[in-house]
Amino acid sequence: MINHIVIVPVILPLLFGILLLLLQNYSIQVKRILSITAVIVQIVAVTTLLNIVSSGEILTYALGNWMPPFGIVLVADRLAVWMLLIATLVSLCALGYAVRGTDAAGQHFHVLFQLQLFGLNGAFLTGDLFNLFVFFEILLLASYSLLLHGGGRLKTKAGLHFVVINLVGSTMFLFAVGILYGLLGTLNMADLAVKVANTTPENVALIRVAGLLLFSVFALKAALLPLYLWLPSAYTYTTAAVAALFAIMSKVGAYCILRVYTLIFGAQAGPAANLIEAWLLPLALATLIIGILGVLASTHLRQQVAYLVVASIGTLLIGFGLNTPAGIAAGLFYLPHSTFAAAAFFLLADTIAKRRDEMKDKFEPGPVIAHKRLFGVLFFMVAVLAAGLPPLSGFIGKFMILQAALPHPALPWILAIVLITSLFTLIAMARSGSMLFYRAMPANYCKIGPDREVPPTAMALGKELVSIVGLLLLSVALLIWGGTITEFTMATANQLLQPDDYIQSVLGTGVIP
């Protein structure tokens, strides 16, 4: 009976999404209560799953009791549940910010929010490549609608680029899935791991092509160079709460790279072993460089945060690209840090923009904002997180990645690029903070709109900042419980690089000879 809990993170957002759709004519307060309740219940379910899988147990759930590899299967191991926990925590903070008013700009915001979680949770838990494609499409539909929430020319333009590029990725995904199914007769990932390792020589070339097509799709989802161009505009022009939620969406591609290329195309995959090892690390380093160049060249704070997301993807995939237990563990520690920091920065950028009137988040001298000391402190804390300075979690994550890279032949490149880009991030953050807080001018010297916002009361300000502070506290929790989390991520890395337990749990038999 305990295996039934595996489906709860998938079925809950779907059921609540349907319920919210049926209640679309009810007040926004009812929708808010239901939506927040749904996310809290998901957090409880995921925490329960985490307690179970922490011991190394892998839970499987065969839908309709159709046994793998013939039916749909959900699999909860350490990696899947770690991603679920990060996603649900970020979604709660993003939703807490949205219910302050931006959710009312469209009738179906909460329905789409739950469908987004349905796609995210399903992608993390599915044990089947075709159903991974299905959940990707759910993600695409929900995220496209959320991106356009509230309307606007810039949102529409960014959304068009977003959907067209991702539809191309979906087409490539279908090509790859079709090749694998035509050659091997299965799309169950555990079964694919067995059959790829034992494939006949005449199939090897096509299997490698399919594997590289899949890598292109996942690289697109992760915004890896050169497929990152859709991300900066999409994340810059959507609402702050949606951008905060999207901070975890970009990690879905990184998750898929780690899952597929340790399970199906890992060291045990015979002629297709370590298929992307020669590609991933160089592309990750290049992505980090291009992301930081975007950070330095940004003219708006939200644009700068979007490029920080690109840079964080590069840093994360450097750890995964090392293809060692220490490197993967470091990446899995850095992943929640980068997600929480980016989400907090998007929300903070929105609160600052609202107080600068026509200047919004432009890097131009604007009016002195209300509560400037408070926002200055928050900006400093988030900037330290983003730059990876001690003593916060970003420093620990980057230190672990560099430590894991010590035996790697590319160590000089990794060391130089990570340290230099960290310095440039610090310079960019210092410039941004100076422009927003130190070069501010009295209101009578600035262009002030006719409806300048009245400074909020202490209670209203507290409600506005609770989500930002919550995300910062989650980053602090990574620091306080760093030892326990590091042990967990190391155990997760070892479990990924030794996939026999996963295969045995899903198939019952048939581990790779």
Higher pLDDT, 183 or 67: 183
Q: Looking at residue 122, what is its pLDDT?
A: 92
SS3 304: helix
Could you tell me the pLDDT band of residue 141, with boundaries at 50, 70 and 90? Answer: confident
What's phi and psi for 265, nearest 5 deg? -115, 35
Average pLDDT for residues 260-272, to the nearest whole number? 85
Under 8 Å between Cβ of 103 and 24: no
440: which DSSP letter? -
**Angstrom distance (rounded) from CA 129 to CA 61:** 16
* For residues 364-385, average pLDDT: 80
Residue 451 has pLDDT above 50, yes or no: no
> What value does the mean pLDDT take over residues 10-31?
89
What average pLDDT does this structure show over 467-479? 90
pLDDT tens column, 300-330: 888 899 999 999 999 999 999 998 999 999 9
Q: How far is CA 49 from CA 4, 8, 43, 259, 268, in A?
A: 11, 10, 10, 19, 28
Does residue 143 contact residue 123 with C-beta atoms inside 8 Å? Answer: no
Q: Alpha carbon 460 to chain centroid distance?
A: 29
Contact 396, 336 (CB under 8 A): no
- Give residue 44's pLDDT band: very low, low, confident or very high (50, 70, 90): very high
Output helix, strand, coil percentages for the chain, rounded to the nearest 5. 75, 5, 20
| 247 within 8 A of 83, measured Cβ to Cβ | no
**Would you place residue 456 in the very low, low, confident or very high pLDDT band (cuts 50, 70, 90)?**
low
pLDDT band at residue 333, thresholds of 50, 70 and 90? very high
3 state SS of 60 = strand
Of the pLDDT bands very low, low, confident and very high (cuts 50, 70, 90), residue 1 is low
pLDDT of residue 169: 87
What digits encode the pLDDT tens for the residues 192-210? 888 888 888 888 889 899 9
Domain boundaries, the chain: 276-480
97: buried, middle or exposed (CB in 10 Å: 19+, 13-18, 0-12)? buried
Tell me the C-alpha distance between 440 and 448, whole Å. 13
What DSSP letter does each residue of 124-191 carry, written as one string?
Answer: HHB-BHHHHHHHHHHHHHHHHHHHTTT--HHHHHHHHHHHHHHHHHHHHHHHHHHHHHHHHS--BHHH
- Is residue 210 a contact partner of residue 176, using CB atoms and an 8 Å limit? yes
